[in-house]
Amino acid sequence: MKITTIPAVYRNVNRWGEILTVLSKYGLAGWLSRFDLDFAKGWLRTRDGEALARMSSETRIRMALMELGPTFIKLGQILSTRPDLVGVELASELTHLQADVKADRPEQVRRLVEAELGEPIEVLFAEFDDQPLASASIAQVHRARLHSGEEVVVKVQHVGIEKTVTVDLEILSGLAQFAEMHPDLVNYRPRATVAEFQRTLRREIDFGREERNMQQFASDFAGDESVHIPRVYPELSTSRVLTMERLNGVKLADAELVVGREFDLKEIAQRGADLYLKMIFDHGFYHADPHPGNILLLDGNTIGLLDFGMVGRLDEGLREEIENMLLAIVDREAGQLTAIITRIGETPSDLDLPGLSNDVTEFVSYHGNVPLSEFELGKALGEMTEIIRRYRIMLPAQIALLLKSLIMLDGTARLADPSFSLIDALRPHRRRLLRQRLSPARRLKKMRRIAGELEQLAEVLPRRLIDLLGQMQSGKFDVHLDHRGLEPSVNRLVLGMLASAIFLGSALMLSMKAWPSVTLFEAQISLSGSTGVLLSAGLGLRLLRAINKSGHLDRRG
């Protein structure tokens, strides 16, 4: 941990204590689970009395995040979108994270709404229900009615949530620095992951962003009767309060209610898939949390979307790469799929490219022989993500989020219609994508972009070359080398030299019987010399252990 983080630790010492206590409890439970000691596995329990040591490691992580509170619950929910980082099993477990947060008192909610909107509740709304419809990690939702008669819901941030998030984000930054020092955790890129989480969470607690997201979706799908985006009321919304239209329908997650209504679930599954594919490939702006609780079924088989806090954006370059990746999976082209993965991902310096190519070929061969009626694109994408993680390839956050959204979309559509195939839904889009890619307008747009980049290069290159030649002529030209992995070797070399120097000096003191000395077996022995010899022996053993552990003692190359 950097010394600059010490004041943050001191400021938040109580919260640090709570977090470390919870992590210690679940860590100890994980240690006990490795031993066949039934009597010991019941020592540590959840608040509901379940034995922690009898749970899977993924379940224990989810339980620990729930116990740590709203910020860590949101961390888990965001990590569930990164199976390339945490693995498919853990990401799947984290999708079950639900925040059962105690609602704020009615007077607190009214005070916050009035402070944000600048008028008494009675002036703002004809009716305002103090009993919340739901209370999640960041906010709670209340039913209300405007003076003009429209029914609305009001999303209100929990009192003090910004302070709680700020404190927890500081602590997470400190924990990430500790985690970077642990060899087993460094592959998860803790600091980069926490930095990405901080950006995502700060955007999510700003309801102004969610309001703009809803307005953009409403604009993108204006006139489309297959989908309904709730209307927002900007005059009754701020960064901490969001007022939107209340949709009267049935959530897809409420299976019993869905069955009791006259919905054409096959048509709804197809409409939902077409809707999301249009968001992704036409608009490059999509709803990134398509789980059944956020899908509302309205009269006329219309789909209502809820919760626009998590959205994904794709620029044209990334959109083309995603198109290429999905087309390669559909067409079973292993070589192209391998090339795309290594091109868009951040690969490690020691990437096993032949192994990756073999695994991708096996993946494509297996799914290529599955009958189309049984082909599950969500499952295939999950397996591909696991391959990417196994070879420590880091995908851009936008692509990882999109892959997770497609996996979730496939599962949600199959909940409505078990016979649904996302690969079938992709086929019409595949033909349209190919037509768009070959269209003169698309080619002209791409040529304009390339021409602009070449023009910028032509403007910058001569100036850079002149600067470079000037530095070389004046003797100020420097070459900076990045020695990757050299630090451990240098440290071992210094340690070896230090051990040798201490041994030689100590041996000299022993031969000269330097003070202080003692008589042992009628021989005078220097205490300082003996201590130095023991110290040098300890350093030597430490050095041999480090070399042996790394496996580079006598291996060539």
Q: How confident is residue 39, by pLDDT bands cut at 50, 70 and 90?
A: very low
- With 0-12 CB in 10 A as exposed, 13-18 as middle and 19+ as buried, what is 253? middle
What percent of the chain lies above the pLDDT cut of 90? Answer: 17
Give the DSSP H/E element, type plus range, for residue 331: helix 316-331
**Are 436 and 363 within one domain?**
yes
Rounded Cα gap, residues 229 and 485, in angstroms: 52
**Are 418 and 503 within one domain?**
no
Residue 292 in any domain: the answer is no
Residue 336 in any domain: the answer is yes
Give the pLDDT confidence score for residue 430 in this predicted structure: 67
Nearest alpha-carbon partner for 270 in 384, 136, 424:
424
Nearest alpha-carbon partner for 291 in 274, 314, 310:
310
Rounded Cα gap, residues 460 and 465, in angstroms: 9
Residue 378: pLDDT over 80 = no
**Are 406 and 518 within one domain?**
no
State the CB neighbour count (10 A cutoff) for residue 41. Answer: 18
Q: Residue 100 to residues 46, 50, 69: CA-CA distances in angstroms?
A: 15, 18, 10
**Are 65 and 189 within one domain?**
yes
Give the residue-averaged pLDDT of 379-407.
82
Residue 29: pLDDT over 70 = no
Residue 210 in any domain: the answer is no
**Are 494 and 426 within one domain?**
no
Q: How confident is residue 1, by pLDDT bands cut at 50, 70 and 90?
A: very low
Q: Which of 441, 463, 478 is the last residue of a domain?
A: 441
Residue 23 vs residue 314, higher pLDDT: 314
Give the residue-averaged pLDDT of 195-202.
82
Q: How confident is residue 316, by pLDDT bands cut at 50, 70 and 90?
A: confident
Rounded Cα gap, residues 267 and 264, in angstroms: 5
**Are 520 and 432 within one domain?**
no
Residue 175 in any domain: the answer is yes
Residue 123: pLDDT over 90 = yes
**Are 338 and 436 within one domain?**
yes
The single residue of 84, 289, 359, 410 carrying the catalytic annotation is: 289
Range of the domain at 541: 488-550
- Residue pLDDT, tens place only, 133-165: 988 888 899 999 999 999 999 999 999 888 888
Omega of the bond leading into 516 within 30 degrees of 0 (cis):
yes
Residue 83 in any domain: the answer is yes
Domains identified in the chain, total number: 3
Q: Which of 171, 202, 233 is the last residue of a domain?
A: 202
Give the pLDDT confidence score for residue 183 in this predicted structure: 65
Nearest alpha-carbon partner for 175 in 161, 160, 195, 199:
195
Give the residue-averaged pLDDT of 195-210.
85
Render 94-161 in DSSP notation, one character per residue.
HTT----PPPPPHHHHHHHHHHHHSS-HHHH-SEE-SS-SEE-SSEEEEEEE-TTS-EEEEEEEPTTH
Residue 133 in any domain: the answer is no
**Are 33 and 176 within one domain?**
yes
Task: Name the most confidently modeled range: 4-13, 249-258, 531-540.
Answer: 531-540
**Are 505 and 398 within one domain?**
no
Q: Which of 176, 202, 228 is the last residue of a domain?
A: 202
Residue 345 DSSP code: S
Please indicate whether residue 254 is annotated as part of the active site: no
Q: What are 349's two structure tokens?
A: 């310096």
Rounded Cα gap, residues 277 and 409, in angstroms: 10
**Are 413 and 339 within one domain?**
yes
Residue 269 in any domain: the answer is no
